[in-house]
């Protein structure tokens, strides 16, 4: 403690101010930790929650899952006060969580609670670990603390965006197969709702993520949700432009009473042409992308092999 105070004295000539500031910082950290523990205990040990959990079903094999639910629910009260007041930012994070596959009602609360815990815990870990590295200067320690704080604040957003991109890529890969199977089922005489359910079961092995989304779409329709509304929810859960176009076309076909089979077949042909054009575009870019590896790696070796012997002969002829 004294060594830390002496190292922080470089920022101020008065050691009492440094001592009081460090005491206030530690007290604030202990207050935040105690506050989180208080919310955790108050929600997990709440008798009303335990009673509702008992009424929802028997215990036994489901005990661990119920405890996990209580742990997640206990974070709601703590993280609700930490959520941003901007409704647009909250809506964006909620949409990203849904597109990443986290559909629980308390997912956004757990996300912001995780960000808060990491923003507090990582700098504390760096602050504690600096005692094991005495060669680190005070400036380096402060720099690492700010880096840890940035990782805690922005790291979850980066990980969430990567999860969304990975899940969208999986859905995009299976969308063409889903579209072809849907066209076959509808043209064979199945209704659109039954075709969605059938396709969801057929692609469950090869494209489980897309099959899950189709199963949710089918469940919403069977639960009484309007078909157009369920399709728009499907597009919002995926966040893909191709699926938004597909949903808009099907919704327009339902609204005007045209043939869904004809609409799906036309869209399938257009989508196949679009994929072909995208593949041709990527193939056309290969020549341009290969210029830099050729210039950096291939041409120097080629010139050394082709011109190197001639240069050596010239050196020998001129006696260099």
Q: Are residues 178 and 88 in the same domain?
A: no
For residue 81, pLDDT over 80 is answered with no
For residues 103 and 220, is the Cβ–Cβ distance under 8 A? no
- From 166, 183, 217, the end of a domain falls on 166
In this prediction, residue 41 carries a pLDDT of 55
23 and 107 in a single domain? The answer is yes
Cβ distance 261 to 252 under 8 Å?
no
Same domain, 82 and 155: yes
Are residues 162 and 192 both part of a single domain? no
pLDDT tens-digit series, residues 89-115: 788 888 888 888 888 777 888 888 888
Are 143 and 57 members of one domain? yes
Structure tokens belonging to residue 53: 């959990």
Structural domains counted in the chain? 3
Is there a single domain that holds both residue 20 and residue 133? yes
DSSP letter assigned to residue 13: S
The whole-chain average pLDDT of the chain stands at 76
Average pLDDT over residues 250-265: 84
Quote the domain boundaries for residue 240: 167-287
Q: Are 17 and 156 members of one domain?
A: yes
Query: The tokens of 230 are what?
Result: 């369920």
The pair of structure tokens assigned to 145 is 């603390």
Residue 260 sits in the same domain as residue 302: no
Instruction: List strand residue ranges (DSSP E) for the chain, in order.
Output: none
Per-residue pLDDT, 61: 40
Same domain, 177 and 50: no
Q: Which comes out higher in pLDDT, residue 189 or 60?
A: 189
Which of these ranges, 12-16, 30-34, 58-62, 195-199, has the smallest mean pLDDT?
58-62
132/180 same-domain check: no
Residues 195 and 300 in one domain: no
- pLDDT score recorded for residue 303: 80
- Among 49-53, 207-211, 255-259, 261-265, the least confident range: 49-53
How does pLDDT run across 145-186, given as a tens digit for each residue? Answer: 888 888 888 888 899 999 999 998 888 888 888 888 888 888
Which of 102, 137, 166 is the last residue before a domain boundary?
166
Q: What is the pLDDT of residues 26-70, one digit of tens each?
A: 666 676 666 666 655 555 555 555 555 555 444 444 444 454 455
Boundary-marking domain end, from 141, 166, 191: 166
Residue 214 has pLDDT above 80, yes or no: yes
pLDDT of residue 24: 67
- Residue that wins the pLDDT comparison between 74 and 308: 308
Q: How high is the pLDDT of residue 62? A: 44
Q: Are residues 233 and 272 in the same domain?
A: yes
pLDDT above 50: residue 217: yes
pLDDT in tens, 262-298: 888 888 888 888 888 888 888 888 888 888 888 888 8
To the nearest whole percent, how much of the chain has pLDDT over 90? Answer: 2
User: What was the pLDDT predicted at 59?
Assistant: 47
DSSP 84-147: -S-HHHHHHHHHHHHHTT---TTHHHHHHHHHHHHHHHHHHHHHHHGGG-TT--HHHHHHHHHH
């Amino acid at each position: 403690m004294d060594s830390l105070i002496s190292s922080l004295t470089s920022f101020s000539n008065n050691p009492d101010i440094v001592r009081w500031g460090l005491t206030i910082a530690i007290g604030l950290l202990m207050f935040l930790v105690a506050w989180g523990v208080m919310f955790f205990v108050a929600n997990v040990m709440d008798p009303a929650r335990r009673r509702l959990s008992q009424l929802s079903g028997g215990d036994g094999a489901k005990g661990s899952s119920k405890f996990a639910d209580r742990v997640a629910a206990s974070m709601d009260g703590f993280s609700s006060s930490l959520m941003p007041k901007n409704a647009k930012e909250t809506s964006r994070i909620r949409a990203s969580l849904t597109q990443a596959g986290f559909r629980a009602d308390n997912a956004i609360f757990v996300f912001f609670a995780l960000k808060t815990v990491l923003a507090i815990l990582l700098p504390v870990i760096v602050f504690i670990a600096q005692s094991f590295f005495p060669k680190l200067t005070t400036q380096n320690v402060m720099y690492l603390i700010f880096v840890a704080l940035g990782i805690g604040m922005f790291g979850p957003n980066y990980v969430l965006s990567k999860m969304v991109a990975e899940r969208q890529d999986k859905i995009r890969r299976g969308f063409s197969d889903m579209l072809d199977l849907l066209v076959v089922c509808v043209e064979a005489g199945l209704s659109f709702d039954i075709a969605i359910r059938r396709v969801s079961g057929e692609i469950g092995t090869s494209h489980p993520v897309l099959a899950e989304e189709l199963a949710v779409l089918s469940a919403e329709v069977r639960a009484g949700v309007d078909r157009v509304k369920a399709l728009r929810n499907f597009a919002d859960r995926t966040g893909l432009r191709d699926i938004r176009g597909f949903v808009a076309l099907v919704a327009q076909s339902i609204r005007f009473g045209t043939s869904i089979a004809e609409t799906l077949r036309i869209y399938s042909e257009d989508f196949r042409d679009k994929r072909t054009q995208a593949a041709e575009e990527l193939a056309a870019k290969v020549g341009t992308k290969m210029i830099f590896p050729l210039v950096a790696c291939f041409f120097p070796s080629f010139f050394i092999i082709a011109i190197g012997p001639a240069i050596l002969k010239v050196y020998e002829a001129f006696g260099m």
